[in-house]
Amino acid sequence: MATSASSPRTAVRAMSRVFVRVVATPPSYPAFATHLQEGNSIASLTLSFTSAIQCRGGWFAGVPRRPHRTNAPPFDTEWNRLMTKTLGLIGSGMIGGTLARLAVAAGWNVVLSNSRGPETLGALVAELGERARAATPAETAEAADLVVVTVPLHAHDRLPREALAGRTVLDTLNYYPQRDGHVTELDSGELTSSELVQRHLSGARVVKAFNSIGATQLLSLARPAGAADRSALPIAGDDAAAKAEAAALLNALGYDAVDTGSLADSWRSEPNTPLYCVPYVGDMPSGLDRAEFQRWFFEAPGVPVPAQRVKELADAAERGPVGGSL
C-alpha cells in the first residue's frame, strides 16, 4: 500500500479500515486488545482513550516516524490524535445531543450540525468542550468516521446524499404520520422507514440504531462493558461490516448491540412494537393525562434491558399498524 509520508492521517485511516476492527471503549472501560496481522508481521495493540497506542511489532508501513524537530509534539500525542474516532451528528436535538455527550465521554471527537446553521450550536459545543465543533451537514459527513442522522423523517430527503456516499450512516428516524405526513410506501408496508432512508442515501450503508429509546434513558442507562446491569439496543442493516461498525459505536457509548436483521426487518424496533421505548422506562404509572405522561417519560431514569430480553422482544414482534403518535 503506497502512501505519502506527508499524509499520516490518510495512511492511518486507510490501514485501519483494512486491518483493524476498532471497538472503542470509554476511559473507565477496560482496555480492548486487538491483534493485527499483515503478512508475517503481528502487532499487538492496546486501545485506550487515556493512553497512547503502543506498537510492539514496529512501525506501520506508510506512517512515518516523528520528524526530528525540536518543536514537534511527542509521537504518542500525534498517534492518539490521528487514531481518535470522530462521530458526526446530522441533527443535534435531544437524541443527537445525548449521543454527542456519550461520545465525548468515550474519548471521541464530535462534529455537530443541524438545519439552522453551525452558529446555533454554540452552547452545546461549549458544553461539550474541545472535542466538539459545529459544521454544516455536508461538512459533518465529510469529517466523520461514522455519521448518525437524527432528524424528522419528513426531512430525510434533505440529507446530503453525495457527502454521505461511502459512509456508514446510523439512522435513528421514526415515522410519525401526524408530524411527517402520510407516506404511501410506509403506510402500505412496502418499505420500512430505514429502507426509505437507504433509498435516498443510495451510496451509503444505512444501519437502524438508537430509534427505540428515549434521550433520558439513553444517557442514564449507559454502562461499561461487562457491567451486570448493562443494557442492549437493537440494530438492523443490510451490510455486515456497517453493522459491525455500529455495534462498536454502541459498545463505546455503553451498550451491547442485538442484530435484529436487515433493513426490511427494522420494523421490529419501530413504534407500536414491544421493543419501542417501553422496556427502557419500566412500568408506567396509571391515571396520567397526556401532559403528565410525557413529563414522566422524559424524566424517568430507565431500567436496564439486557441483550437476551431485546432479542426476545424483537423475535416476538408482529407487524401491525405503521407509524407512531406524538
CA 59/CA 316 separation, integer angstroms: 50
Average pLDDT, the chain: 81
What's the confidence (pLDDT) of residue 8?
46
Among residues 265, 261, 270, 255, which one has the least CA distance to residue 306? 255
pTM of the model: 0.75
Residue with cell 443510495: 202
pLDDT by residue (tens digit) across 172-229?
999 999 999 999 999 999 999 999 999 999 999 999 999 999 999 999 999 999 999 9
| pLDDT score for 46 | 30
Residue-wise pLDDT tens digits, 65-117: 334 344 444 444 444 445 679 999 999 999 999 999 999 999 999 999 999 99
* Side-chain-side CA neighbours of residue 65 (13 Å): 5
Cell readout for 166 is 461511502
- Residue linked to cell 444505512: 206
Strand bridging mode 205-208 / 41-47:
unpaired
Count CA within 13 A, CB hemisphere, residue 99.
Answer: 32
- Three-state SS at 43: strand
CB 128 within 8 A of CB 104: yes
pLDDT score of 6 more than 50 = no
- What's the pLDDT at 323? 85
Main-chain phi, psi angles of 7, to 5 degrees:
-130, 65
Predicted pLDDT at 326: 65
CA–CA separation, 271 and 209 (whole Å): 13
Return the SS3 of 86: strand
